[in-house]
């Protein structure tokens, strides 16, 4: 690493230069504060050894200018033993540590090692944050279609605001990705992003997870526990499938939004939080309000800014971009040589109706990459559901002269729809139920009635 030594004593310069070189680092030398700042202008420096007593510009002023230019640069001040007060002041100004004169060589080396380790950790942390920002940058939510451009414009405007946001869209359209992008481009980006899987918990467990609980609040509560709202304080909390929250819990959620406070389950203390709510659903919340299953006042509190994501079938011009991006990603991840999609395979991708949206497309490309042995993604590598061109919409059967059983025709139509939904979700019934917008128990009963099994998925 590069270390700048700013000291007007020639002997100390020589000693420190030898020590730095023995450690395998590159020393730069300056005898005045002005010279040191000039070095920083032209060289990448990781740590500065700065004498406070310098001719011309005082070491404290040099420190302040360094901190203004690069707050992460590690500065170790060197001072006479009689000027420890100045060293303490330098620490308040942001110096990493101080070394009193006369110093021991090992003391200098130990301080330098610790300082460089902090520099490395700070650099890694900054790099990880930048990677995180790039991962959820708006321009990385892939799509050049007009509907997606409109989405980008809206979330760019919405992200810096304080308002709650409602993200609407079918399952698999990327609602959570948009929620994370909004968070990471907001003023809360340094705070936590906490996800609540609203539809996968019973009411009592959901409340305990949201608000926390006190020891002994219920059977099994052997210790007090923070809730997700406390964990999200200063950041954003994302409610996935907000429409599935039980009606009684909705009232408590409304109170948190209005008052920014709540009590743990079994607790008496009021806890205040500063949290931005981003909610998402593939359900018709307007209809749920009309039916009385979703609170109207909560709906209006959540629906301050609405971002509606288009289904993939409404933006087919984005399919080549998405497919190529997934191909490159999974080829790297699986160390495959596959690089391109054949024209025939791309035609199938463009013709398919994608009931599972972007998630289904990603799954299809991942499967193809894993099964590939060459450099080209060909038609036979795609799932059977994608290879069936008529999947974009099953036409009604031709009506024979003698007619046919309407009931049997409807049952067969239902059967084919369910099989294709299951195929697109890799046989996972819960995800297929989300695609078909029915309860998992309802889907299970329909599968039993229509005699759909895992063998059906293979043969269809």
pLDDT one-digit tens code per residue, 320-373? 989 998 999 999 999 998 989 998 899 999 989 898 999 999 999 999 999 999
Query: Locate tokens 């994302």: which residue?
Result: 238
Tokens coding 437: 């917008």
Bigger pLDDT: 425 vs 365: 365
Summarize pLDDT for 97-129 with one digit per residue, the tens: 888 888 888 888 999 999 998 888 888 877 776
Tell which residue, 363, 354, 355, 352, has the closest CA to residue 330: 363
What is the chain's mean pLDDT, rounded?
86
Range with the poorest average pLDDT among 94-98, 220-224, 331-335, 398-402: 398-402
- Cβ atoms of 273 and 256 closer than 8 Å: yes
Which of these, 391, 442, 395, 438, lies nearest to 419 by C-alpha position?
A: 391
Q: What's the CA gap between 198 and 294, in Å, rounded?
A: 14
Pick the more confident residue, 434 or 50: 50
- Contacts of residue 290, Cβ cutoff 8 Å, sequence gap at least 6: none
Longest dimension (CA), the chain: 110
CB 416 within 8 A of CB 395: no
Domains of the chain, each with CATH number or no CATH: 2-132 (3.40.50.2300), 138-310 (3.40.50.300), 311-393 (1.10.8.60), 395-460 (1.10.10.60)
Cα–Cα distance between 358 and 319 in angstroms, integer? 9
- Bridge partners, residue 399, by sequence: none
| Token digits of residue 445 | 């009963």
Please state which of the ranges 204-208, 239-243, 315-319 shows the lowest mean pLDDT. Answer: 204-208
d(CA 313, CA 361): 11
Residues 6+ apart with CB under 8 A from 295: 247, 250, 251, 254, 289
For residues 152 and 141, the answer to whether their CB atoms sit within 8 Å is yes
Strand-pair category, 97-101 with 74-80: parallel
Q: How far apart are CA 446 and CA 213, in angstroms?
A: 39
**How far, in Å, CA of 416 to CA of 405, rounded?**
17
- 370's torsion region: left (phi>0), alpha (psi -120 to 50) or beta? alpha
User: What's the rounded mean pLDDT across residues 77-96?
Assistant: 80
Extract long-range pairs of 201-205: CB within 8 Å, 24+ residues apart. 203/246, 203/248, 203/249
Tokens of 351: 């013709």
Please state, as a whole number, how many other Cβ atoms lie within 10 Å of the Cβ of residue 353: 18
Is 271 within 8 Å of 264 (Cβ atoms)? yes
What is the 3-state secondary structure of 24-49?
CCEEEEECCHHHHHHHHHHCCCCEEE
């Amino acid at each position: 690493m590069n270390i700048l030594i700013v000291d007007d004593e020639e002997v100390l310069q020589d000693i420190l230069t030898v020590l730095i070189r023995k450690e395998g680092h590159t020393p730069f030398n300056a005898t005045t504060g002005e010279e040191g700042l000039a070095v920083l202008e032209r060289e990448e420096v990781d740590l500065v050894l700065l004498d406070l007593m310098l001719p011309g510009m005082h070491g404290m002023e040099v420190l302040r200018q360094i901190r203004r230019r690069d707050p992460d640069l590690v500065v170790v001040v060197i001072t006479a033993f009689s000027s420890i007060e100045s060293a303490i002041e330098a620490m308040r100004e942001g110096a990493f540590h101080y070394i009193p004169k006369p110093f021991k060589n090992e003391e200098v080396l130990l301080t330098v090692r610790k300082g460089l380790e902090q520099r490395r950790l700070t650099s890694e942390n900054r790099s990880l944050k930048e990677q995180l920002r790039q991962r959820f940058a708006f321009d990385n939510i892939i799509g050049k279609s007009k509907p997606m451009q409109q989405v980008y414009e809206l979330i760019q405007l919405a992200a810096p605001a304080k308002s709650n946001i409602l993200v609407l869209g079918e399952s698999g359209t990327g609602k959570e990705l948009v929620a994370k992008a909004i968070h990471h481009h907001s003023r809360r980006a340094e705070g936590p992003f906490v996800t609540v899987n609203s539809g996968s918990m019973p009411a009592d467990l959901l409340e305990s997870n949201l608000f926390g609980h006190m020891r002994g609040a219920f059977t099994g509560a052997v210790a007090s526990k923070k809730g997700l709202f406390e964990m999200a304080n200063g950041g954003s909390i994302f409610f996935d499938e907000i429409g599935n929250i039980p009606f009684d819990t909705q009232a408590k959620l409304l109170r948190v939004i209005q008052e920014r406070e709540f009590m743990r389950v079994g607790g008496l203390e009021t806890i205040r939080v500063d949290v931005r709510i981003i909610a998402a659903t593939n359900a018709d919340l307007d209809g749920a309000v009309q039916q009385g299953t979703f609170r109207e006042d909560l709906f209006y509190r959540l629906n301050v800014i609405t971002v509606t994501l288009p289904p993939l079938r409404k933006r087919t011009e984005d399919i080549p971009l998405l497919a190529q991006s997934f191909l490159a990603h999974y080829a790297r991840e699986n160390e495959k040589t596959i690089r391109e999609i054949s024209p025939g395979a791309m035609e199938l991708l463009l013709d398919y109706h994608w009931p599972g949206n972007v998630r289904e497309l990603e799954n299809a490309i991942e499967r193809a990459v894993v099964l590939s042995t060459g450099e080209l993604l060909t038609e036979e590598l795609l799932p059977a559901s994608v290879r069936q061109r008529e999947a974009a919409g099953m036409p009604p059967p031709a009506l024979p002269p003698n007619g046919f059983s309407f009931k049997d025709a409807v049952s067969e139509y239902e059967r084919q729809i369910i099989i294709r939904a299951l195929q697109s979700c890799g046989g996972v019934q819960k995800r297929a139920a989300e695609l078909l917008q029915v309860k998992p128990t309802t889907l299970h009963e329909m599968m039993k009635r229509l005699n759909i099994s895992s063998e059906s998925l293979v043969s269809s």
